[in-house]
Amino acid sequence: MQHNNNDERPASTHFGFREIPTNEKASLVKKVFESVAPKYDVMNDLMSFGLHRLWKRFTIEEAQLQPGQVVLDVASGTGDLAKLLAARVGKTGKVIMTDINEAMLAVGQDRLADAGIISQIECVQADAEKLPFADNEFDRITIAFGLRNVTDKMAALHSMYRVLKPGGKVLVLEFSQPKMPLLSKIYDLYSFHVIPKVGEMVAEDRESYQYLVESIRKHPRQDVLKNMMEEAGFEDVRYHNLSGGIVALHVGHKY
């Protein structure tokens, strides 16, 4: 990866397995999610055999939310997690869901309106690297399956640290590295041979799902992400491997 001396960001980055100029990644990711937004929830259920719902529920349990708290859900997509968060903070609490992608946010807003809980959830189009909120504003911050699509992950972690209240927690749910060699082999076969085909059949978009599979392989593994979170200022960072490490939930604190 080349570095450009005039800028702290590297001149190039990964988009799946391709190396591209850093400044092109956000728009390429945007195209992927504009394309997959209408079928995103159906595909999540199919690809994870519904397991993504259990992973999100585990995240909610670990968040230990109290009624009345203010929560930020970053890269909220279609609002799955925001909906669960809202149920926990109740009418006196507030959830702000953000996504950089307008198409995904629009699908999320519609779903929350249908569920009748849009009143306590605010939707904000925002970039995870530059969150448009005051310092020390949120009791909890969550990001589920969004960090790997961010161009500058460290910038996003710093941004989340800044807007988290002292005493608050950040929860990062993301695909990770399976811990057993056999599981790893099966997972690779499934990811590279099945998921893009299902994407082609269900969402009529093989390419986007090929990217999503590749982006998982490029995401920092468990211990690397833990170190990155510590570097961003989070303390007492630990992670839970779910489904044998296919997914990991990282939890960090700000004291």
Q: How far is CA 77 from CA 110, 215, 232, 241, in A?
A: 12, 17, 24, 23
Asked whether residue 172 is assigned to any structural domain, the reply reads yes
Domain count along the chain? 1
Any domain includes 228: yes
Residue 9 belongs to some domain of the structure: no
Flag whether 201 is in a domain: no
Whole-model pTM? 0.94
163, part of any domain = yes
d(CA 104, CA 145): 13
Q: What CATH number does residue 100 fall under?
A: 3.40.50.150
DSSP string, the chain: --B-TTSSSBSEEEETTEEEEGGGHHHHHHHHHHHHGGGHHHHHHHHHTTHHHHHHHHHHHHHT--TT-EEEEET-TTSHHHHHHHHHHTTTSEEEEEES-HHHHHHHHHHHHHTT-GGGEEEEE--GGG--S-TT-EEEEEEES-GGG-S-HHHHHHHHHHHEEEEEEEEEEEE---SSHHHHHHHHHIIIIIHHHHHHHHSS-HHHHHHHHHHHHHS--HHHHHHHHHHTT-EEEEEEEEGGGTEEEEEEE--
CA distance linking residue 251 with residue 170, whole number of Å: 6
**Residue 225, in any domain of the structure:** yes
191 inside domain: no
Q: Which domain holds residue 119?
A: 26-179+210-253
Q: Would 114 be classed as within a structural domain?
A: yes
Per-residue pLDDT of the chain (255 residues; tens, 9 = 90+): 444 444 578 899 999 999 999 999 999 999 999 999 999 998 899 889 999 999 999 999 999 999 999 999 999 999 999 999 999 999 999 999 999 999 999 999 998 888 888 788 999 999 999 999 999 999 999 999 999 999 999 999 999 999 999 999 999 999 999 999 999 999 999 999 999 999 999 999 999 999 999 999 999 999 999 999 999 999 999 999 999 999 999 999 999
